[in-house]
Structure formats: structure tokens, C-alpha cells
Amino acid sequence: MGITINTGDTVPVFSQLIEQIKSAVSNGDLSPGDALPSVRQLANDLNLNHNTVAKAYKHLIRDSVIVSKGYRGTFIHTDAQANCNFDINTVVTSKLGETIQALRNTGATDSEIRIAFGAVMKNKSDSGA
Amino acid sequence: METKFLFITVVLSQLFLMSYYFPRKIANRIQYVLDTYPPSEFPKLYPKSIEYYTRIQRNYRILNTFILVLGAMLLGIVFNNFPEDSNRERWDQAIVLSFFMVQFIPILLLEISSFNIFRQMRKTDLRTTRKAELQPRRLFDFISPILFGVVVFVYVSFVVFILYFKRFDYPWFGGNLNIVIITGAYLFFSGVAAWNMFGKKLDPYQSNEDRRRQTSLIVKQLALISIGMTLYAIFTILAHTFEIRYLGSIFMSIYFQILAVFSFQFIQMEDINFEVYKEEDQAS
């Protein structure tokens, strides 16, 4: 099972990695429990910065497509097939849209929503949440 | 007298093997590549001008011939002035060791040239697509568990041997320093093996199959060299103990020849995928 990335593409490299691993899981090329190369190995093979591959792996772990088992390595998650269809961006956009609509219904202007959103995000960032 | 002939024969064999047989084999491999895979059809194999490759090959041949002649002359001098005194091992081992190092200079220069060629290959590789296997590489993909087990066994035996030997309190015995030196060498070899297994490809066009084969060969060579080195260290201590150091230079030369046989192993030309160096692959 191979992976191909295009550094000239407009899609960020880490997104290409995520998509290709998800697609390999969906197609059945990668099965639950299959081992993946280490971050260092994949980064060296693709001549990429280690942080780029680490970022892709981090997103895949968050989405429960892969699972890290410490020194033993990284493996395909047991529920990867179901989880790889889950798109966090769609969920975020949908929830945010609903919230904005609800706020507008209360009479809040877009400007007030923007300022409040910025302030809440800043507070969350400052408190490390 | 017998020692003299034995010494001359063994060093002559070292001279033949390392300054004639293996260099000839390597030079022939270079010539085979130049003839079979010319720059017109395999441009990516030649990031530098063809003259650069022919010059490397010519210099390699000349340097080895020079060392061969020098070695033959040196042996002639040693043959006519072979001392029979018991302190001979002080200088004959120095001759074998220093000559071995001189014999390694041409291959070292060749390796440096190879690194320069690969660096130029990476510089001129303008492809934006990159491929990798989604499988982890593991030690036992490259070396059999039995060979690895032998390496570990030999190392542990060496440590036990040194710890046991310490009780005899020989004034010349280095004690734990032997363990430190051998452990250092093992760590260095492990680092080289890991670099080959997980590091960046030197040749950007090399196929995954070729890389796997090459890494496997290197890891096996390192394992065999580790075993040879450790056994030789045990032997030198025993030779000192049983006062057969007068044979030290002979065994040292044999040891170096065994190392050379382990080191100068190559992948068969027919097994290497040269198609990746064709112009057609530029787009891929």
C-alpha cells in the first residue's frame, strides 16, 4: 500500500496525507490493526518536515482513524472504517451556522456576533481550553 | 622462517584481495553501468557530466594500481629484512594495520564521490510528487532473527569473557575498557543500520524494492562485521595470554581480509531497477 503526495498542489500536504490514509481505510487497503510507519519514517520517505506528518497523524488520532500505542507504533483504529467518514469541518460549520442563526433570531447584529465570537475564542485560548 | 613465509603469504593475499580483486570488480561494475545504461537513455543516473564518472573510475584504478605496486615493494623489503627477534610483533602489526588503512583510501574516495553524485541527483530532482510505502520498516524485515540472535549472543559472551578474565589481573589487560570500546562500536553500527532503515533516501529515484534489498545487505554486513570484530577482540586477548603474539600480524591480516569479504558484497546488477532513471519517469 503506497501513498503519493504532491507538494505543488494547492491542498496542504498534511490534508493530502489525511485524505489518502482515510481513503485507504475506506477502500479496505488498510484494515483495523494494520501498522503504519512511524512519523520519522514517513517524513523521511516523503522528504517532508516531521511536524507535517505529525500534524496529520494527530488529526487522524483525534478522528479515531488511527491509534497510537506508544513505543509499539501507530495502528489503524478498530472503528476506523466508520470514523473516516466523519468530517469535523462539516460538523463545525453546521453547528456554527445553527448558533449564528439562533443569535440573529434574538436580534443580535452580525457585528455583535463577530465581536462576541472573537472575545469568547480569546478567553478560551487564554484559559488554555 | 615458517613465520616469515606465512606472514608474506597472508599479507600478499591481503594485497591481492583488497588492491586488485575487489577494486577490479568495482571498476568493472562502474564500466558495466556506463556501457549498459548510457546517459542518452538514463539521464537521471548522471546528474554530472559523463567525464566526471570516467575520471572517478580512472582515478580509482590508478590509485589501486599504485597501492598494489607499493605493497609489492614493501613486501619485498620486509621479505629481505624479516627480523627473527621476539619483539617483531611491535612493527609487523603496525605494517599490516597501516597498509590496510591505505588500501581503504580508494574506496573511501569512491564513497565520497557517490555521496556527491546523490546530492546532485537530489538537487536536480524537480518532481513535486513523492511516493512512500504505508508500511513500517522493522529490523527483522532486513535481518533474520537467527543472525540477530548470534550477534547478541557473541556480544554477551564477550562481556562475560571480559568480566571473567578480569580476575587474572594481567598488567596488560585493559579490563572494562574492552567492553566500552566494543559497545561503542556496536552502538555506532546500530546507528548506521537505523540510518539506512529509517533515514532519507540518498538516491531520490531508487525504487522501494531496491532500497529494501540494499538496506538488507548493509544490515547483514554490519551484523557479520560486529561478530567478526568481537571474535577478533577475544582472540587478541587470548593470543596475548598464551604468548602467541608473534602470530598476531598474520591473524590481523586474515581478520582484515574477512572484513573486506563482508564489506565488498554487492547487489546483483540484474536485480537493480534502472528504469527509474529513464527520462520517461520525469513526470511521475
Query: What cell does B134 get?
Result: 504505508
For chain B positions 228-257, those within 8 Å of chain A (CB to CB) are none
A1, A45, A53: best to mutate for the B interface, most B CBs within 10 A: A45
**Closest approach of A13 to chain B, Cα-based (Å):** 11
Q: Which of B75, B81, B83, B27 is nearest to B54 (CA)?
A: B27
Class of residue B67 by CB neighbours under 10 A (exposed 0-12, middle 13-18, buried 19+):
buried
What Å distances lie between residue B113 and B38, B42, B56, CA to CA?
A: 19, 19, 8
C-beta atoms of B134 and A36 within 8 A: yes
Which chain B residue is nearest to residue A37, measuring alpha carbons? B136
- Its ipTM equals 0.76
Summarised one tens digit per residue, pLDDT across range A39-88 is 999 999 999 999 999 999 999 999 899 999 988 899 999 988 888 877 77
Q: Which among A21, A41, A44 has the least Cβ separation from residue B136?
A: A41
Does residue B282 surpass a pLDDT of 70? no
Summarised one tens digit per residue, pLDDT across range B131-186 is 999 989 999 999 999 999 999 999 999 999 999 988 887 777 778 899 999 999 99
| Residue that the C-alpha cell 496525507 belongs to | A17
Cβ contacts from A onto B, under 8 A? 62
SS3 B243: coil
Fold of A13-83: Arc Repressor Mutant, subunit A (1.10.10)
Does residue B281 surpass a pLDDT of 80? no
Q: Give the model's pLDDT for residue A126.
A: 76
Query: What cell does B248 get?
Result: 598476531
Separation between Cα atoms, residue A70 and residue B254, nearest integer Å: 46
C-beta atoms of B136 and A35 within 8 A: yes
Q: Which of B215, B145, B221, B116 is nearest to A41 (CA)?
A: B215
C-beta atoms of A21 and B135 within 8 A: no
The verdict on A44 touching B (C-beta cutoff 8 Å) is yes
Chain B residues with beta carbon closer than 8 angstroms to that of A19: none
Strand pairing category for A66-68 and A2-6:
unpaired
Does residue B284 surpass a pLDDT of 80? no
Which residues does B62 contact at the CB level (< 8 Å), separation at least 6?
none
Query: What cell does A10 get?
Result: 494547492
C-beta atoms of B132 and A8 within 8 A: no
Separation between Cα atoms, residue B121 and residue B126, nearest integer Å: 10
What Å distances lie between residue B171 and A12, B86, B182, B231, B280, CA to CA?
A: 66, 19, 20, 22, 68
HEC secondary structure over chain A: CEEEEECCCCCCHHHHHHHHHHHHHHHCCCCCCCEECCHHHHHHHCCCCHHHHHHHHHHHHHCCCEEECHHHCEEECCCHHHHCCCCHHHHHHHHHHHHHHHHHHCCCCHHHHHHHHHHHHHHHHHCCC
Domain ranges, ordered by start, for chain A: 13-83, 88-126
Summarised one tens digit per residue, pLDDT across range A82-106 is 888 777 788 889 999 999 999 999 9
The verdict on B167 touching A (C-beta cutoff 8 Å) is no
Separation between Cα atoms, residue B179 and residue A52, nearest integer Å: 41
